[in-house]
Structure 1
Amino acid sequence: MTPEELSEAISAALAATLESGELTLVEGAELPDVRVERPKNRDHGDWATNVALQISKKVGKNPREVAQVLASKIENLAGVAKVDIAGPGFLNIVLDAAAAGELAQTIVSAGEKFGTNEDLAGKTINLEFVSANPTGPIHLGGTRWAAVGDSLARILEATGAKVVREYYFNDHGTQIDRFARSLLARAKNEPAPEDGYGGEYITDIANRVTAEHPEILQAEDPQEEFRAAGVEFMFADIKESLHNFKVDFDVFFHENSLFENGKVDELLEELKSSENLYFKDGAWWLKSTDFGDDKDRVVIKSDGNAAYIAGDIAYFQDKINRPENPADTAIYMLGADHHGYVARLKAAAAALGDDPDRVEVMIGQMVNLVKDGKPVRMSKRAGTIVILEDLVDAVGVDAARYTLTRYSVDSNIDIDLDLLSKQSNENPVFYVQYAHARTCAVARNAQAAGVDDSSIDTSLLNTESDNELLAVLAQYPNIVKEAANFREPHRVARYLEALASAYHSWYGNSRVAPQADEEVSDLHRTRLLLNNAARTVLANGLGLLGVTAPEKM
């Protein structure tokens, strides 16, 4: 029995008590959704619910009275062995072994669909992440957003949402000019500009530009030529790096397009009538302090030109008004130095007369690499920073993605390259992947020994190890919901580590394949079912993180 099935059964039991008159709702009261959770102390039962406390005032009785009425109904449900009332009115529910073990059958039957839901069906979420400047390779901060952003997109899709993965291409600004000057200087064998970019990648891009345009140094405006061709090469490299990191985007939005097609100019006139803007000292100001900003921001400067934030407002307007996939929610994933943007972007939505809560801003903290106990600060290719390729070259895509995703985004990360290179239980990604590989090995060995699924008896899953593994497996659907609701992919990673621990423990206590001359029994077949359920959930969870589930290690 899954927690969803139990919740529905308790809801039906509650409805029956209302229909029979044993409980009566006060006028205007509405019933809450019934939820069950695993009790912290497993001695208290398989599941617990606080529904009696939730509805006590709604039915005009104290919680224990309500609990006593509901307990008698729940005990009559198929699959329920016992119901105890604890404390002020908590209901602790014990399932019979067969009902508890049916979860394994449910998981295997659902396969890849197990853990998914339709909570966000019909919603379009625009998820903008990475958006690194096209002036150099992706640094570690951007790499973290690539892993977290893509994992979050997968999780949101698992809850029914339409997710548009978007990369904001910053091709309108002074950083592109500095990049072009750096390329030109390198092509002319001159020192890099004081405010320019260094690293081997500048030499590489400059050489590729001159190879494709041999006469470029004789052009009327070689810097502009290097600007156009260099950005194209650099951005192609960025896309390739991300693709190799298993991150692809639906939309590459060019910042410059907002200015070229006149959207910003049109918006400036429109904004003057917004109650969230005011005129002062010859300029138009956005009331961003109303949304937590430390000061109001200029949108239209005194010379009539657009301030930088005008582009942000126009960009949000574009996201929500697109003919295809207009965003119901726009999530921006920004770096640690962008805290001020939270209030500004919400104010931008308000300036358009929209709900500020349609804007969500996630701020990610710093990532550091550590090797031999010392920070790694330099890249052979990029010069002064460590980049995506450095991390992948050191530990591989799977370990990089998993490690960057297993921490809350608001915490700094120190990635120990020595630890991630170990094939041991100390290495979290190895620990989880090895659990999946072990489930596959168990299934292969069982098949070779003649164990099949011809006769299953879920009541045989009654050991402490069986119960613990089933308890952890049952948590997965709620973990996916919470990861989506709170925008926290790390919940999936931490769950997988708990599942791997429960599985490794179960493996040590449970034989699936018969030994020697032992005949295949229903116990072997049923244990294989539970093994395969663990394999399914491990694979599904790793898939949400964009990490492979190897069959052999």
Structure 2
Amino acid sequence: MTPNELSDALRAALDAAVSDGTLALDASELPDEIRVERPRQREHGDWSTNVALQLAKKAGAQPRALAEDLARRLASVPGVRSADVAGPGFLNISLDAAAAGELARTVLDQGTAYGRGDAEAGRRVNLEFVSANPTGPIHIGGVRWAAVGDSLARVLEAAGAEVTREYYFNDHGAQIDRFAGSLLARARGQEPPEGGYGGQYVQDIADAVIADAAAAGDPDPLTLPDAEAQEVFRARGVDRMFTEIKVSLHGFGVDFDVYFHEDSLHESGAVDRAVARLRDAGHVYEQDGATWLRTTDFGDDKDRVVVKSDGEAAYIAGDIAYYLDKRERGATDVILMLGADHHGYVARLMAVCAAFGDVPGTNLQIIIGQMVNLLKDGEPFRMSKRAGNVVTLEDLVEAVGVDAARYALVRSSTDSTLDIDIDLLTRATNENPVFYVQYAHARTANVARNAADHGVRREDAFEPSLLVAETEASLLGALTEFPRVVAQAAELREPHRVARYLEALAGEYHKWYAECRVTPVGDEDVTDTHRTRLWLNDATRQVLANGLGLLGVSAPERM
């Protein structure tokens, strides 16, 4: 019996109580879904619900009396072994072994679809993440967003949402000008200008721009006037850098559906149209020669300049136009993933959302991520030789590999600063969380291979009533939780919940493996218990693979 089936049984019991007058409520006042949870203490049963506490006051009833009535009604439900009332009105429910064990068949029947649902169905999510300026390699903060953002997209899709992964290509403004100036200076054998970019990568790209020009039969950029030369380095250099960024992200398992160019907002007139729309709504005014957006009407601490007195668009003008563009492309949920240094932008962006008549926190959601610290031998991880002063995606992948890097970056809440021990992630021990989970999957595969060698075949029998060991009940309970974890991770925009779940599942599997054999010992005959345990082993394998897939981490067959 799955949590959904138990929830349906509880709802049916409540409907019956309403119909016979035991519960003085209208059926419309009952919750559509009765929430059941795993008790903290295993001896309290398989599932627990506080629905009696929720409804008693509204119905003018005693919570414990209502819980006792529900317990009597559940006693006749097939698969329910017992329903006991605890405390002021909690209902603890135990399933019989056969009902619990049926989950193994459910998991294997659904395969890769197990854990997927429709909690986010109908949501069209535009998820923007990474969006590093094309002025250098992706540093460690951007790498965290690459891992978390891609995992969040996978989780949202598993919950039924339609997701567009978007990268905002910042090819407009002073940073790009400084990058072009740095390339030109390096090509001339000079130091970058003040505020420019250093690192070996600048020299490498400058050399590549000259080589590209020669290969195309174009004039040597160094023979051109300064303004023309800088424009060549700007166009070719940014393109080179952005290509490298895309290649790095692809190697990290991250690809985008849309690469949106900031320049296009200004060139297409999107900025002017967005400002005009806000002016028509009465949210824009002129003062001191500049154009202002009255963001204080929507919770911001001060109004914001949209067009400066010199006629140049302020930075927020692009944000305004970009948000509107995403909504006009059909996004119901615009999700931005920003670094800790952007915390001050939240109020003004939410004010922009509200000024367009949208709902902050719903139509626009902003996730702020904290810093990442890499440690090796107890000391900060070495700086990148190529980037000069930052640790890059390539540095991390070179040190620990894609799987370990992605898993380590996604397994913690983005609200917290993340300390990553490089030494730990290279160890093949249970202290290494990604190894611990991947090894559990590899172990399930090894058990399946050994079972085949001993003639243990799933198709010969499945008797879920034989799964009576305590570790089997615990493992089945963990498998049951996977769809709920995925739905919650999607709802809260927290993919780290999937990683923590997988670690707990791996722990339950390792305990089960130590106590319950799938293959016979010595001359022992193959029994239905062996065959049924193989179902449970393979169901665990499927859920581990499904969960790792949501994190973009491989599920190895051997380790």
The TM-score range, normalised by the shorter chain, is over 0.9
What aligned pairs does 1:481-520 form with structure 2 within 5 A after superposition? Answer: 481-520=487-526
Moved more, 508-517 or 301-310: 301-310
What aligned pairs does 1:57-456 form with structure 2 within 5 A after superposition? Answer: 57-214=57-214, 215-220=220-225, 221-322=228-329, 326-356=330-360, 357-453=362-458, 454-456=460-462
Distance 1:362 1:102 in 2: 39
1:33-66 CA distance string (max 9 Å, x none): 2111001111111101111112213333111121
Distance 2:44 2:551 in 1: 33
1:280 deviates by 3.8
Residues 192/31 of structure 1: CA separation in 2 closer, same or farther (3 Å cut): closer
Distance 2:517 2:30 in 1: 49
Choose from 543, 547, 554 the match for 1:548.
Answer: 554
1:514-542 CA distance string (max 9 Å, x none): 12211110000011111111111111110
Distance 1:482 1:31 in 2: 18
Q: Which amino acid aligns with 2:495?
A: P
TM-score w.r.t. length of structure 2: 0.96
1:333 deviates by 0.2
Q: Which amino acid aligns with 2:114?
A: F
Does the Cα contact within 8 Å between 2:404 and 2:434 map onto a contact in 1? yes
1:289 deviates by 3.8
Does the Cα contact within 8 Å between 2:120 and 2:491 map onto a contact in 1? no
Distance 1:209 1:27 in 2: 71
Moved more, 244-253 or 262-271: 262-271
Distance 1:181 1:278 in 2: 37
1:200 deviates by 1.3
1:212 deviates by 1.1
SS state of the match for residue 213, structure 1? Answer: helix
Moved more, 33-42 or 425-434: 33-42
SS state of the match for residue 119, structure 2? Answer: coil
Does the Cα contact within 8 Å between 1:31 and 1:55 map onto a contact in 2? no
Does the Cα contact within 8 Å between 2:18 and 2:27 map onto a contact in 1? no
Distance 1:27 1:112 in 2: 36
1:310 deviates by 1.1
Distance 2:300 2:414 in 1: 21
TM-score w.r.t. length of structure 1: 0.97
Distance 1:33 1:27 in 2: 13
Distance 2:374 2:419 in 1: 6
SS state of the match for residue 340, structure 1? Answer: helix
SS state of the match for residue 84, structure 2? Answer: strand
Distance 2:130 2:167 in 1: 7
1:290 deviates by 4.6
Identity of aligned residues (%): 62
Q: Which amino acid aligns with 1:428?
A: P
Q: Which amino acid aligns with 1:516?
A: G
Q: Which amino acid aligns with 2:78?
A: A
SS state of the match for residue 13, structure 1? Answer: helix
Distance 1:347 1:448 in 2: 64
Q: Which amino acid aligns with 2:535?
A: L
Moved more, 262-271 or 221-230: 262-271
Q: Which amino acid aligns with 1:469?
A: L
Distance 2:499 2:96 in 1: 30
SS state of the match for residue 103, structure 1? Answer: helix
1:2-37 CA distance string (max 9 Å, x none): 111111121122212222333231597344521110
Q: Which amino acid aligns with 2:366?
A: V
Distance 1:538 1:411 in 2: 26
Moved more, 447-456 or 271-280: 271-280
Does the Cα contact within 8 Å between 2:408 and 2:434 map onto a contact in 1? yes
Aligned residue for 2:217?
none
Q: Which amino acid aligns with 1:175?
A: Q
Distance 2:31 2:526 in 1: 49
Aligned residue for 1:24?
24
Does the Cα contact within 8 Å between 1:274 and 1:353 map onto a contact in 2? no
Residues 203/474 of structure 1: CA separation in 2 closer, same or farther (3 Å cut): same
Choose from 530, 534, 544 the match for 2:536.
Answer: 530
Q: Which amino acid aligns with 1:346?
A: M
Moved more, 266-275 or 337-346: 266-275
Does the Cα contact within 8 Å between 1:38 and 1:46 map onto a contact in 2? yes
Distance 1:377 1:514 in 2: 51
Distance 1:27 1:436 in 2: 45
SS state of the match for residue 317, structure 1? Answer: helix
**Across the two proteins, how many residue pairs are aligned to each other?**
550
Choose from 467, 470, 494 the match for 1:464.
Answer: 470
Q: Which amino acid aligns with 1:387?
A: T
Distance 2:99 2:22 in 1: 28
Q: Which amino acid aligns with 2:319?
A: D
Distance 1:448 1:335 in 2: 52
Distance 1:74 1:27 in 2: 18
Distance 1:242 1:27 in 2: 52
Q: Which amino acid aligns with 1:353?
A: G
Distance 2:29 2:530 in 1: 51
1:158-198 CA distance string (max 9 Å, x none): 00000000000000111111111111111111222222111
SS state of the match for residue 370, structure 1? Answer: strand
Q: Which amino acid aligns with 2:277?
A: E
Q: Which amino acid aligns with 1:533?
A: A
Residues 88/279 of structure 1: CA separation in 2 closer, same or farther (3 Å cut): farther
SS state of the match for residue 165, structure 1? Answer: strand
Gaps of 5+ in 1: none
SS state of the match for residue 385, structure 1? Answer: coil
Does the Cα contact within 8 Å between 1:26 and 1:60 map onto a contact in 2? no
SS state of the match for residue 108, structure 1? Answer: helix
Does the Cα contact within 8 Å between 1:289 and 1:343 map onto a contact in 2? no
Residues 75/278 of structure 1: CA separation in 2 closer, same or farther (3 Å cut): farther
Distance 2:378 2:65 in 1: 60
Does the Cα contact within 8 Å between 1:268 and 1:306 map onto a contact in 2? no
Distance 2:524 2:28 in 1: 64
